[in-house]
């Protein structure tokens, strides 16, 4: 949900200006709850467009819905590294929810320390997205 300039700034904050890292903009198809193989195909087509080859490795969480992102034939030649949520029990979706809740302290436990100084900027941008504004309203209805 963050714009490309913010995402680029975050990556450069963590990794610097390494020539080994290529950053390209890729528009979202819909929202983060849209879990379909079309999304995976869209992602892989764009990787091929910019990098000119199929990725050698895909790193994902072990969430059940990840298996619905890619058609089996699209990832047959790709190694996959699954991050075990038992050891790292957090996802990007949960990190964004912590920001919606404005739970900075918990957010900082899970995010690279180089990004801590960006919390206010990241939360401000996240909260401009209608999906997260609605999430905020729903969280406060429960209180």
Q: What is the pLDDT of residues 36-48, one digit of tens each?
A: 788 888 888 988 8
Do 26 and 48 reside in the same domain of the chain?
Answer: yes
- 78 and 44: one domain? yes
Q: Are residues 53 and 72 in the same domain?
A: yes
pLDDT over 90 (residue 129): yes
| 65 and 102 together in one domain | no
Q: Is residue 134 over pLDDT 90? A: yes
Does residue 74 share a domain with residue 35? yes
pTM given for the model: 0.74
Q: Do residues 11 and 115 make contact, with C-beta atoms less than 8 angstroms apart?
A: no
- Can you name the residues that pair with 59 across neighbouring β-strands? 81
Total tally of structural domains belonging to the chain: 2
Residues 59 and 96 reside in one and the same domain: no
Higher pLDDT: 118 or 70? It is: 118
Burial class (CB in 10 A: 0-12, 13-18, 19+), 107: buried
Q: Among 42, 57, 83, which residue terminates a domain?
A: 83
SS3 of residue 58 by DSSP? strand
Are both 64 and 109 inside the same structural domain?
no
- pLDDT, the chain, mean: 87
* 14 shares its domain with 54: yes
Host domain of residue 121: 92-141
Q: Which residues, at least 6 apart from 47, have a Cβ–Cβ distance to it below 8 Å? A: 53, 54, 55
Q: What is the pLDDT of residue 32?
A: 62
Rounded to an integer, what distance in angstroms lies between the CA atom of residue 83 and that of residue 70?
17
Average pLDDT over residues 83-101: 88
pLDDT of 62 over the 80 cut: no
Same domain, yes or no, for 8 and 62?
A: yes
Statement to judge: residues 74 and 99 lie in one domain = no
Burial 111-121 (b: 16+ CB within 10 A, else e): beeebeeeeee
Q: 93 to each of 42, 49, 50, 73, how far by Cα in Å? A: 20, 27, 26, 27
């Amino acid at each position: 949900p963050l714009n490309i300039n913010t995402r680029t700034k975050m990556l450069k904050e963590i990794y610097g200006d390494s020539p080994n890292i290529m950053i390209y903009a890729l528009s979202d198809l819909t929202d983060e709850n849209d879990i379909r193989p079309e999304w995976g195909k869209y992602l892989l087509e764009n990787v091929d467009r910019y990098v000119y080859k199929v990725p050698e490795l895909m790193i994902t969480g072990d969430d059940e819905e990840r298996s619905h992102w890619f058609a089996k034939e699209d990832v047959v030649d790709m190694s996959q590294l699954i991050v075990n949520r038992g050891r790292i029990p957090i996802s990007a979706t949960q990190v964004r929810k912590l920001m919606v809740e404005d739970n900075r302290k918990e957010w900082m436990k899970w995010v690279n320390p180089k990004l801590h100084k960006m919390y206010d900027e990241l939360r401000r941008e996240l909260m401009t997205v209608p999906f997260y504004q609605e999430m905020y309203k729903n969280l406060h209805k429960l209180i």
